[in-house]
Amino acid sequence: MTSTSLWHPQTAMSTIEESLTVIASGRGASVRTEDGQDLLDLPAGLWHANVGHGRTRIADAVRRQMADLETYHLFQGMANRPAIRLAERLAALSPIPDAKVFLTSGGSDSVDTACKLARRHWQLAGRPGKRVIVSRQHAYHGLHGFGTSITGIQSNRDGYGGDSLIPETARVPWDDLAATEAELLRLGPDNVAAVIAEPVIGTGGVLLPPPGYLTGLAELCRRLDVLLIADEVITGFGRVGQWFACRRFGIEPDLLTMAKGITSGYLPLGGVLVSRRIWEPFFAETPDAPTFRHGLTYSGHAAACVAAEENLSILEEEGLLERVLDLEPVLAQALTPLRDHEAVVDVRAGTGLLAAVQLDPDADARPVLRAAREGGVLTRLLADNSLHVSPPFVITAEEISRAADVLKSALDRARTLESA
Ligand code: PMP
């Protein structure tokens, strides 16, 4: 039994004592452990550190805000100025024209918010039977109630009541439009509220959408009058070289969830971009206009919103989205040769700074992670036994090439150990 009081998320606690790594500080694309080892942070934490670590500019802005006011809630006509400003800025960047912005504390919150809004939309539209939320195999949408019910990663669903946790959900193949259409027709479009999709599936293994898949999905949803929710918790805020992946892939969802890169992790924050079709009844200036009975104490937390504003300014002023596009082929070219390694099943890269090196699903990847770490490179495993690669945007081409070399020798060493 471990002696720690801290219960780690998504962790087999029996492994903690031998493998605990405490990160003490970070600069740019690297973090430093408590023992003083510098590690290139290939996963950018949990895909969050878009502008990189150690941005004192964000810390200073947050300190100034907190000295004036930590936060004030947004319920019942109250507000704080940073939340109002941030919403304007997000609406201007949104791939959904004329969007309204509902702020939350993180990605799972945003997913719950979007799923509730989708169901409420149809209830208000006089079609309350439209309640099913359809998601894709391998999908990850956080681990709140809705997220647990709709994930396509089975191990995250097991043990919580299965299909009765949030009733009326369904899953479809991640890449097959014909099968998705067949399932929507089987469920009956009169029963389906929304399809939710990560433009690039993240935790499931960085699965890039097949060409035409996302536009096809958007068209299918429109044709069957089903809402489309884009979960951009990972892909938002520059990860694929545009403010949102929906822009890059040319789709306009009805709802868009965001978190992580919205503050680059400097404080917890999330949000949902909402299209006119959905927000309109709630904003009607009539006495019987409905209220969205939903919200969090920290919806629009003032200091978190200031962190987001500063983060957006850094992304803009330093041209970091363009930098992601410049580095996109550099990362793909550095990792692709690993495909020839006998321990590697697949390398997926080529859309922004988002990649995965997939190992044999049954292989013990821990020696690879350990060897990489000894070479100064931090990575971790995604759900399909892939090495997670989504570095901060400030990573240099030289650091990318060093990371690829270290991963290659880590794979070589792990293979040698195995056969020894
Ligand atoms: N959606 C997606 C696509 C995610 O990747 C994540 C987190 N990895 C979430 C939702 C949940 O976000 P959070 O952990 O901030 O609740």
All structural domains of the chain: 13-54+319-419 (3.90.1150.10), 58-317 (3.40.640.10)
Sequence-separated (6 or more) residues with CB below 8 Å from residue 24: 32, 33, 34
Query: Does the Cβ of 114 fall within 6 Å of ligand 1?
Result: no
If DSSP codes are grouped into helix, strand and coil, which group holds residue 358?
Answer: strand
Mutate to test the pocket of ligand 1, among 112, 113, 140 (most ligand atoms within 8 A of CB): 140
- Alpha-carbon torsion (324, 329, 330, 334), positive or negative: positive
Spatial contact of 103 and 305, defined as CB atoms under 8 Å apart: yes
According to the model, what pLDDT value does residue 4 have?
82
Query: Does the Cβ of 259 fall within 6 Å of ligand 1?
Result: yes
Spatial contact of 308 and 86, defined as CB atoms under 8 Å apart: yes
- Find residue 389's DSSP bridge partners: 355
Spatial contact of 349 and 332, defined as CB atoms under 8 Å apart: yes
Lowest mean pLDDT segment, chosen from 9-23, 65-79, 309-323: 9-23
DSSP state of 232: -
224 burial level (CB within 10 Å; 0-12, 13-18, 19+): middle
Please state the atom number of ligand 1 nearest to the C-alpha of residue 260. Answer: 15
Mutate to test the pocket of ligand 1, among 141, 143, 237 (most ligand atoms within 8 A of CB): 141
User: What single-letter amino acid sits at 72?
Assistant: Y
In the predicted model, what is the mean pLDDT of residues 154-179? 95
What is the distance in A from the centroid of ligand 1 to the CA of 262? 12
Query: Does the Cβ of 231 fall within 6 Å of ligand 1?
Result: yes
Please state the atom number of ligand 1 nearest to the C-alpha of residue 47. Answer: 8
Pairing of strands 100-104, 270-274: antiparallel
The position carrying tokens 């080529």 is: 350
Spatial contact of 150 and 141, defined as CB atoms under 8 Å apart: yes
Spatial contact of 82 and 65, defined as CB atoms under 8 Å apart: yes
Spatial contact of 249 and 215, defined as CB atoms under 8 Å apart: yes
Query: Does the Cβ of 46 fall within 6 Å of ligand 1?
Result: yes
Residue nearest to atom 7 of ligand 1 (CA): 142
What is the distance in A from the centroid of ligand 1 to the CA of 142? 4
What secondary structure does DSSP assign to 281-307, as a single string? HHH--STT--------TTTT-HHHHHH
Please state the atom number of ligand 1 nearest to the C-alpha of residue 202. Answer: 5
How large a percentage of the chain has pLDDT more than 70? 98
Residue 11, number of CB atoms within 10 A of its CB: 12
According to the model, what pLDDT value does residue 18 have?
80
Q: Left, alpha or beta for 225 (phi > 0: left; psi -120 to 50: alpha)?
A: left
According to the model, what pLDDT value does residue 419 have?
61
What is the distance in A from the centroid of ligand 1 to the CA of 78? 28
**Which phi and psi angles does 119 have, rounded to 5°?**
-65, -40
Query: Does the Cβ of 239 fall within 6 Å of ligand 1?
Result: no
In the predicted model, what is the mean pLDDT of residues 253-271? 98
Residue nearest to atom 13 of ligand 1 (CA): 107
193 closest CA partner among 228, 167, 162: 228
What is the distance in A from the centroid of ligand 1 to the CA of 136? 15
Confidence tier at 378 by pLDDT (50, 70, 90): very high
Confidence tier at 17 by pLDDT (50, 70, 90): confident
DSSP state of 190: G
Please state the atom number of ligand 1 nearest to the C-alpha of residue 139. Answer: 3
Please tell me the distance from the alpha carbon of residue 29 to that of residue 32, in angstroms, as a whole number. Answer: 11
Query: Does the Cβ of 140 fall within 6 Å of ligand 1?
Result: yes
- Find residue 28's DSSP bridge partners: 53
The position carrying tokens 């006495």 is: 287
Residue nearest to atom 9 of ligand 1 (CA): 142
Asked if the model's pLDDT at residue 420 lies above 60, the reply is no
Does this complex have an ipTM over 0.90? Answer: yes
Confidence tier at 414 by pLDDT (50, 70, 90): confident
According to the model, what pLDDT value does residue 163 have?
85
In the predicted model, what is the mean pLDDT of residues 169-185? 98
Tens digits of residue pLDDT in 288-307: 999 999 999 999 999 999 99
pTM for this model (two decimals): 0.98
Asked if the model's pLDDT at residue 418 lies above 70, the reply is no
Residue nearest to atom 15 of ligand 1 (CA): 107
According to the model, what pLDDT value does residue 298 have?
98
Return mean pLDDT, the chain: 96
User: What single-letter amino acid sits at 240?
Assistant: V
What is the distance in A from the centroid of ligand 1 to the CA of 360? 25
Asked if the model's pLDDT at residue 2 lies above 70, the reply is no
According to the model, what pLDDT value does residue 19 have?
82
If DSSP codes are grouped into helix, strand and coil, which group holds residue 7?
Answer: coil
- Helix or strand holding residue 41 (H, E): strand 38-41
Query: Does the Cβ of 106 fall within 6 Å of ligand 1?
Result: yes
